[in-house]
Chains A and B, each alone.
Chain A
């Protein structure tokens, strides 16, 4: 079954729920089979499948509620890439463990979570991500940049909080 485990994993990250993830994957395969005649050779098959899965999710009940509660991207302008200041956060992040990263990913808004997962976990190129999400490459870059910034901020808060809770020295 092509991409089965990866699609399931991604679906679970989107829905955060096993049952919903299974429904989502099943529907994705059905739609892929039905729409296969419309698949254009030369286009990216993986991006095509992920796109079906993602669109199916966004029109599901959970997906719709997520969309409603998430602010749409306001400043998705490649010219206005946020610049990350040099802070000691890099030192803190070096200590971020898997549990902290997992928590941060779960807490990220779904638009940020998916773009990070597609890039870092699926190792998709920006072009593939653009095809999957249906946005220009410039938007992929700015969204990715903001998503990672959010993620680092979440981690920083967590790591600082944990250090303080343990009464560990900051430096």
Chain B
């Protein structure tokens, strides 16, 4: 004679029973002569399976091989230019996501997190920018008609910064401009959106950006909200921010 509760044993042992059923099940197990030993036996099998399951480990040589191939991917045509940023960003992103750092942030951290993700995704993309140009006179007009606002770009000649291009982006359902800059080996994204109440609550330098090893700056100027984010040094982020601020005022 099979106890009808035995059909729930697996879900019970896998911690998949909802709270109310869990309480009932626990009460039942204390009194059922058929389910109690069965639960014990299944639990033991689960434990042995877990112990046995972890029996294969990668060799140190293989680990090294993969780590090397991750940090220095073979160049493909589109990657030649983006390879360092791609590898660093993608490896970083994989690492970060695996520890689930995004799990419990405040709302503003989530927003910055989302922008950081946009930045990382851009670097990992085969076509990081829609308009590829180092010339602000090419990049700025490209956005005209594509966005409900316009903005100025700074002259970077003689500075350590270089404009790489731009793309349209969406953040919380609002269109914006994402501009990609380079300083040394680092890439920096500048996001520009129309300012809204939700955005004005965001602060830079949250715990998130510290965890990401990213630096960020954010400010409002002329009804636009700017976010600068990248793995460059905080002083480079500030430096680029200054260029953008003064361009906005000109």
Answer yes or no: do A and B interact: yes
**What is the interface of chain A, defined by CB distance below 8 A to chain B?**
1-5, 8-9, 12-13, 18, 21-22, 25-26, 29-30, 32-33, 36-37, 39, 41, 45-46, 81, 83-86, 89-91, 93-94, 96-98, 101-102, 105, 116-117, 119-123, 125-126, 141, 144-145, 148, 151-152, 155
B138 at the interface (CB under 8 A from A): no
In-complex Cβ contact of B56 among A4, A12, A32 (8 A):
A12
Contacting A at CB under 8 A, from B90-126, are: 90, 93-95, 97-100, 102, 114, 117, 121, 124-126
**Between-chain CB contacts (< 8 Å), 15 pairs:** A2-B97, A9-B53, A9-B58, A13-B53, A37-B124, A41-B102, A84-B2, A84-B38, A91-B41, A93-B41, A94-B40, A116-B49, A119-B14, A148-B42, A151-B45
Q: A33-B124, A93-B45, A126-B16 are in contact. Are A13 and B6 (CB under 8 A)?
A: no
Q: Are B114 and A41 in contact (CB under 8 A)?
A: yes
Q: Are B7 and A2 in contact (CB under 8 A)?
A: no
Q: In the complex, what's the smallest C-beta–C-beta distance from A34 to chain B, in angstroms?
A: 8
Q: How far is the CA of A105 from the CA of B98 in the complex (A)?
A: 28
A18 proximity list for chain B (CB < 8 A): 56, 59
Q: A22-B62, A36-B124 are in contact. Are A1 and B67 (CB under 8 A)?
A: yes
Q: A1-B67, A83-B2 are in contact. Are A144 and B10 (CB under 8 A)?
A: yes
A84 proximity list for chain B (CB < 8 A): 2, 6, 38
Q: Are A33 and B121 in contact (CB under 8 A)?
A: no
Q: Are B98 and A86 in contact (CB under 8 A)?
A: no
Give the residue name and chain of the A residue nearest to B124 (CB): A36
B27 at the interface (CB under 8 A from A): no
Q: Are A3 and B45 in contact (CB under 8 A)?
A: no
B57 proximity list for chain A (CB < 8 A): 5, 8-9
B197 proximity list for chain A (CB < 8 A): none
Q: How far is the CA of A30 from the CA of B95 in the complex (A)?
A: 15
For the complex of A and B, 4 pairs with smallest distance between CB atoms: A121-B53, A2-B98, A12-B56, A90-B41
Main secondary structure of the interface of B (DSSP, over half): helix
Q: Give the size category of B's interface with A.
A: 35 or more
B124 proximity list for chain A (CB < 8 A): 33, 36-37
Q: How far is the CA of A36 from the CA of B121 in the complex (A)?
A: 7
Q: Are A98 and B98 in contact (CB under 8 A)?
A: no
Q: In the complex, what's the smallest C-beta–C-beta distance from B15 to chain A, in angstroms?
A: 8
Name which of B16, B40, B45, B99 has the most chain A CB atoms within 10 A of its CB: B45
Q: In the complex, what's the smallest C-beta–C-beta distance from A43 to chain B, in angstroms?
A: 10
Q: Are A2 and B51 in contact (CB under 8 A)?
A: no
Name which of A4, A81, A141 has the most chain B CB atoms within 10 A of its CB: A4
B80 at the interface (CB under 8 A from A): no
Supplied contacts A26-B69, A144-B10, A148-B42, 16 more A-B pairs, CB within 8 Å? A1-B70, A2-B94, A8-B58, A25-B58, A29-B69, A32-B94, A33-B86, A33-B124, A36-B93, A45-B100, A86-B3, A89-B41, A90-B37, A94-B41, A125-B15, A141-B11
Q: Are A117 and B66 in contact (CB under 8 A)?
A: no
Q: In the complex, what's the smallest C-beta–C-beta distance from B51 to chain A, in angstroms?
A: 6
Q: In the complex, what's the smallest C-beta–C-beta distance from A104 to chain B, in angstroms?
A: 9
Q: In the complex, what's the smallest C-beta–C-beta distance from B118 to chain A, in angstroms?
A: 10
